[in-house]
Amino acid sequence: MQMGRERGVMRWDVRHSLISDRLAQVEARLARLTPPAARDTPIGDAPPMRSPKEERAIREESARLTTEREELRRQLCALGPSPRAKMG
């Protein structure tokens, strides 16, 4: 019997949960920053105009969140499959 396996499983579960939660937060923030598609916006509901400074800040934040999202996805891939024994 392999000793310490449960600790490894718990460590994987915690890391996976933390990364997945952070990824969900980043994707939610990114979705709020991304303007809705023109076809989804009714004609009378145009988004408010923003200054160039605000647009630049939004683009920078969007780029940062996109980079963070890709890094979190890489971490999930590097974490690999669950170490739990599979039945069947």
pLDDT (average), residues 27-47: 71
- Give phi and psi for 43, each to the nearest 5: -55, -40
Name which of 73, 47, 14, 79 is nearest 6 in CA terms.
Answer: 14
What is the residue extent of each domain of the chain?
A: 5-36+50-79
pTM: 0.74
- State the pLDDT at residue 33: 87
Task: Quick: pLDDT tens for 44-64.
Answer: 566 667 788 988 999 999 999
Q: Which residue has the higher pLDDT, 40 or 68?
A: 68
Task: Quick: pLDDT tens for 19-30.
Answer: 999 999 999 999
Radius of gyration for the chain, computed over Cα atoms and rounded to the nearest angstrom: 20
